[in-house]
């Protein structure tokens, strides 16, 4: 069994990006600049956003973190977005999700200029993804494509089963892997909570992407030998033996599945670390698109 090491792969990607930024600086060009807006004080969200800002610094990007109070109105947030949309110094920005209940998430995502939407959540970018047109592929599916490519896992003609139909992972993943692209050309089955006889379907899969958010859902008996497993789950499960009071658990029963799998992503250290690297890659892409004239 080969571990698909997201920690190392993401470090490689960040190193590649850092080299590109160094070369831009050498040519006396501006550095790519990512901004992030966060509303409220949710601990996990703050951790994520701070990690994104730190990653920017590591590769030589400029970064701006905009922290707004929990009581921010939808209109105030829309105003912040309108400012970033026209700020020539900002190449890309994200609004960290989830947002407080009094703010309409869809309205916010639709207000982001598509050419700066490095999360790839704007309907225009999702539509372009579905049509296999140049876009921003959102970080998690993009990270999975990158892991499969760098570990030279063949997807063409393979039976892929995606578990979970979320807008952020399952749905785009199923679309991308079926497309005519380097990592693609697969026969994809998208499964979800209403799927009948799921184990019969997963047992036939060459590659399984588990993205349903239920800890240790995919058991050893549900997979065939030599399967490739991509585990997208990261649920915090209470664990008094840990200093933080919890441990991170994937959607795959790792100990049962690992000996049957040819390749498997660990949790943590698999898909998770890839997402920040891909956000940086999208920011670099936004920068190049905005500076190619
Ligand atoms: N919350 C959890 N993941 C993400 C992400 O990729 N982007 C944003 N904006 N919010 C998130």
* pLDDT one-digit tens code per residue, 111-123: 999 999 999 999 9
Q: Are 89 and 136 in contact (CB under 8 A)?
A: no
Q: How far is the CA of 49 from the centre of ligand 1 (A)?
A: 9
Mutate to test the pocket of ligand 1, among 119, 138, 273, 277 (most ligand atoms within 8 A of CB): 119
Of 69, 68, 96, 98, the residue nearest 80 (C-alpha): 68
Residue 283 lies in a domain: no
Same domain, 224 and 172: yes
Q: List the structure tokens of 41.
A: 């004080």
Residue 279 lies in a domain: no
Whole-model pTM over 0.85: yes
Same domain, 107 and 143: no
| Ligand 1: residue whose CA is nearest its atom 11 | 97
Q: How far is the CA of 27 from the centre of ligand 1 (A)?
A: 33
Structural domain for 104, as ranges? 28-113
Beta bridge partners of 35: 64, 93
pLDDT digits (tens, 9 = 90+) for 153-212: 999 999 999 999 999 999 999 999 999 999 999 999 999 999 999 999 999 999 999 999
Residue 220 lies in a domain: yes
Ligand 1 atom closest to residue 140's alpha carbon, by position in its atom list: 6
Same domain, 100 and 164: no
pLDDT of 292 reads 87
pLDDT digits (tens, 9 = 90+) for 65-113: 999 999 999 999 999 999 999 999 999 999 999 999 999 999 999 999 9
Residue 4 lies in a domain: no
């Amino acid at each position: 069994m080969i571990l698909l090491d997201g920690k190392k792969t993401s470090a490689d990607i960040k190193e590649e990006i850092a080299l590109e930024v160094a070369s831009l600086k050498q040519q006396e060009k501006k550095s790519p600049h990512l901004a992030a807006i966060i509303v409220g004080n949710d601990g996990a969200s703050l951790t994520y956003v701070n990690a994104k800002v730190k990653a920017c610094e590591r590769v030589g990007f400029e970064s701006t973190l905009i922290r707004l109070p929990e009581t921010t109105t939808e209109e105030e947030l829309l105003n912040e977005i309108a400012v970033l949309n026209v700020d020539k110094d900002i190449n890309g920005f994200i609004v960290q999700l989830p947002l407080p209940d009094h703010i309409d998430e869809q309205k916010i995502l639709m207000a982001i200029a598509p050419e700066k939407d490095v999360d790839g959540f704007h309907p225009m970018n999702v539509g372009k993804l579905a049509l296999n047109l140049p876009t921003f592929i959102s970080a998690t599916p993009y990270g999975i494509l990158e892991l499969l490519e760098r570990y030279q896992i063949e997807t063409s003609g393979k039976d892929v089963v995606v578990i979970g139909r979320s807008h952020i992972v399952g749905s785009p993943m199923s679309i991308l892997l079926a497309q005519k692209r380097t990592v693609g050309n697969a026969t994809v089955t998208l499964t979800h909570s209403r799927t009948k006889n799921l184990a019969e379907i997963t047992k036939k899969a060459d590659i399984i992407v588990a993205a349903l958010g239920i800890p240790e859902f995919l058991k050893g008996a549900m997979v065939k030998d030599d399967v490739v497993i991509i585990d997208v789950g990261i649920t915090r499960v209470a664990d008094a033996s840990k200093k933080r009071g919890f441990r991170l658990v994937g959607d795959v029963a790792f100990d049962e599945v690992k000996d049957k799998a040819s390749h498997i992503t660990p949790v943590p250290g698999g898909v998770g670390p890839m997402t920040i690297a891909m956000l940086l890659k999208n920011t670099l892409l936004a920068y190049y698109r905005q500076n190619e004239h």
